[in-house]
Structure 1
Amino acid sequence: MLYWLLKHLIARPLFSAWWRPWVQGEENLPDKGAVILVANHLAEGETVLLPAILKRRLVFTPKVELFHLGGVKGWVFRWFMRSIRMLPLDRSGGKKSADDMAAFADVLREGRVVIMFPEGGRSPDGRLYKGRTGAARLALQSGVPVIPVAVFDTHFSKGLLGIPRLVRPGIRIGRPMDFSRYRGAGNDRDTLRWITDEMMNGIMELSGQTYVDTYVSAVKAELRRGVPVDLVDVPELPRPGYGRPVPPVPGREVEAA
C-alpha cells in the first residue's frame, strides 16, 4: 500500500513535472505476469526514476550492506525498504546469496517484477561493464522472460533551492528475451555466462554504450588505489560474449547423437 501511495500521489506526478523523463518501448513491459528487468547502472538516479515512472511495481535487489547502516539514516532506510517490501541481496556468494536469491524467486512466483543491475555497481565512466550471473541464475530457476532496459542521464544535479533533480532522464525498454530452453542447464558456468552476455548485449543495443569485458568492481579497486579510470587497462569488445561459442541446449546433444 505504501509503495502505491508514494508512487501515484507523490513520486510519479512530481518527478514527471520536475524531471520531464522520456520513455520508449513501455509496451514491451507486460501489464501482468512475472518478469525480470535487467538494466545498466549509471548513477543513483535510476533507483528513483524507474519505480516512479514505469507502470509496474518493481522489486529491487539492494545489497545487504545497505541494511546495516548505522544511525538515524540507517534506521530510516531499513524502515522504508521493509515498508515497501524490498529484499536485501547478499552478494558475497555461498549459501546466504543462494537463500536471498530464493526469496526473489518467490517474488516471481507471485507474478511480480524483479529488477536487477547485472554490473553489480555504478559505471565510473559511462561504459557498460561485464555482467554478474545472478540474473541469469534467477532466469533459469524461474523460467520467466528477461527484459533489457537502458537508462540515460540519471546523474542528479542541483536544482532550485539545492533540491536534486534529473535533467530529461530517459528509459528505453527492449523486447522480452526467453531463456527457458536452457532451464535444464542448472549451474553450468558456460551457459550462465552466455545468458548473462546476451542480457548485457540487449542492454548495450538499447543504450549505445561501449562494452568493457571487465567487472566494474575491479576497475573501482584500481580507482581506490589512485589510478585514473582512463589509465585502467581494460579490454573493450564489439559486444558482450564476443568470440565465445553458444552453449548447447540441454537435451539437444543427445538428440543430435
Structure 2
Amino acid sequence: MTAWYSFFKATLVRPAVKWWFRVKIEGTEKIPDGGCVLAANHLDAGDTFSLPSLIKPKVTFPAKKELFMGKSLKGRVVAWFLTAVGQAPIDRSGGRASVAGLGSVEDVLDAGGVVAIFPEGTRSPDGRLYKGHTGVARLALTSGRPVLPVAMINTRMVKSKVGIPTMRDARIIIGDPMDFSEYRDQVNDLHVLRWVTNEVMGAIQQMTGQTYVDVYASRVKRGELKGTELSKQLLAYPNQNQTRPVPATQFPAGAPVLDDPTVRE
C-alpha cells in the first residue's frame, strides 16, 4: 500500500466517512486473500471514496486516462493525486482501446490486489440500476479472480442543515464471491461476457432492490435516450432473456461451443 494512500485514508477519508457521512458497511469478512474484483452500483460521487475507506485492503479504481494527463493546475493536481494513491489509468473510448486499457488493472489483480469497478460506467441518473459494461466480465475471466457484488444504498449526497453535503442512512453491503472460472477460456465470447456481466448486475440488484433498466446509463444521461420514457427497457432481472452459456470445458478439444437453450437463468 502506497504511503500517500495510507495517509489520506487514515487521516482524512475514513474519519469523514465514518463520523460525518456515517456510512455503515457489511460483509467485509467476505473479501478473500489473493485478489478480487468488487463490482458496485453507482449512485453518487461518494461511492468512490466510501467503499475503499471502509475496507482493509488497498482498492484500485480504474480512472479514465485523461485524468492522468491534465495540463492545467487543477488537472496536474488531480493527476498527481491519482498517481500518488496508486489508481490505474484506463482508456474509456470504447472498442479495442478499452479492452487493451484493462491491462494496468489486470496487473493489480495478478499481484493479488483488489480492484473496484462500477459496471454501469457512470452514476445512475435516477436511482435505478442500468446495464453493465462487460469490462467486469473481462477482468474476472482473464484474472481468474472472484467477483464480489457490492450494493451501494442511500449513498446519494444530500445537504445537511449547515449546507455541507452528507448522506442519510447510507449502507454498503458486500455480497458473496462469484466464481466464473469455468468460462476463463471464453473471454472473447461476447455472449459469455454479457451473461457474466448480467449475473453480476443481478446479484447487485438482489441486494439493492433497484429497478433494472436494460440500457446503458450514458445513453439516458447524454445520448439518444435522454428524456425518453423507458418502460419497454425494464426487466425483472438482467439475464431475463439470456441463455446460460455452456462452459468450453464441457466439450471435447476443438469442438464448437454452443449455447444450451434448455438452461436459462
TM-score by length of 2: 0.88
139-148 vs 166-175, which moves further: 166-175
Aligned residues: 253
Deviates more, 1:177-186 or 1:11-20: 11-20
Amino acid at match of 2:176: R
Equivalent residue for 1:47? 48
Report the equivalent of 1:156: 157
Counterpart in the other structure of 1:246? 244
Letter in 2 for 1:250: A
Relative to total residues, which structure has the larger helix share, 1 or 2? 1
Query: Is the 1:148–1:174 contact (alpha carbons within 8 Å) kept by the matching residues of 2?
Result: yes
Q: Deviations over 1:95-144 (max 9, x none)?
A: 43233211111101111000011111111011100110011011110100
CA distance in 2, matches of 1:15, 1:159: 14
2-structure distance, mates of 1:105, 1:222:
30
Unaligned 5+ residue runs, structure 1? none
SS at structure 2 position matched to 1:98: helix
Identify which of 24, 27, 35 aligns with 1:25: 27
In 2: Cα distance, 1:124 partner to 1:69 partner: 27
Superposed counterparts of 1:182-197, under 5 Å:
182-197=183-198
Aligned residues of 1:219 and 1:232 also touching (Cα < 8 A): no
Farther-moved stretch of structure 1 (78-87 vs 49-58): 49-58
Distance in 2 between residues matched to 1:25 and 1:205, nearest whole Å? 15
Does the alignment pair 1:216 with 2:214? no
Letter in 1 for 2:244: V
Partner AA of 1:12 in structure 2: R
- Partner in structure 2 of residue 123 of structure 1: 124
Q: In the alignment, is the contact (CA less than 8 A) between 1:214 and 1:234 conserved in 2?
A: no
Map 1:225-236 onto structure 2 (within 5 A).
227-228=226-227, 231-232=229-230, 234-236=232-234
Compute the displacement of 1:71 (Å).
Answer: 2.7
Structure 1 residue 243, shift from structure 2 partner: 2.1
Return the alpha-carbon distance in structure 2 between the equivalents of residues 235 and 94 of structure 1: 24
Q: Which one is further off, 3-12 or 134-143?
A: 3-12
**1:110 — aligned with what?**
111
- Cα distance in 1, alignment partners of residues 96 and 148 from structure 2: 27
Letter in 2 for 1:164: P
Q: Distance in 2 between matches of 1:222 and 1:87?
A: 27
Q: TM-score, normalised by structure 1?
A: 0.91
Structure showing greater relative contact order (alpha-carbon pairs closer than 8 Å, 6 or more residues apart): 1
The residue that corresponds to 2:4 in the other structure is 2
Shift of 1:33: 1.6
Distance between the aligned counterparts of 1:78 and 1:162, measured in 2? Answer: 29
What is the aligned partner in structure 2 of residue 35 from structure 1? Answer: 36
> 1:153 and 1:58 mapped to 2: Cα distance?
21
- Answer whether contact 2:141 2:184 (CA < 8 A) is retained: yes
Equivalent residue, structure 2, for 1:59: 60
SS at match of 1:228: coil
Q: CA deviation at 1:16?
A: 0.8
Structure 2 Cα separation of the partners of residues 171 and 73 of structure 1:
31
Alpha-carbon spacing, 1:70–1:232, altered in 2? closer, same or farther (3 Å): farther
Find the aligned partners of 1:56 and 1:36 in 2 and give their Cα distance. 12
CA shift for structure 1 position 233: 5.3
Identity %: 43
Using the alignment, how far apart are the partners of 1:165 and 1:72 within structure 2?
Answer: 28
- Give the superposition deviation at 1:236: 0.7
Deviation of 1:53 (Å): 1.4
Separation (CA, whole Å) in 1 of partners of 2:51 and 2:178: 20
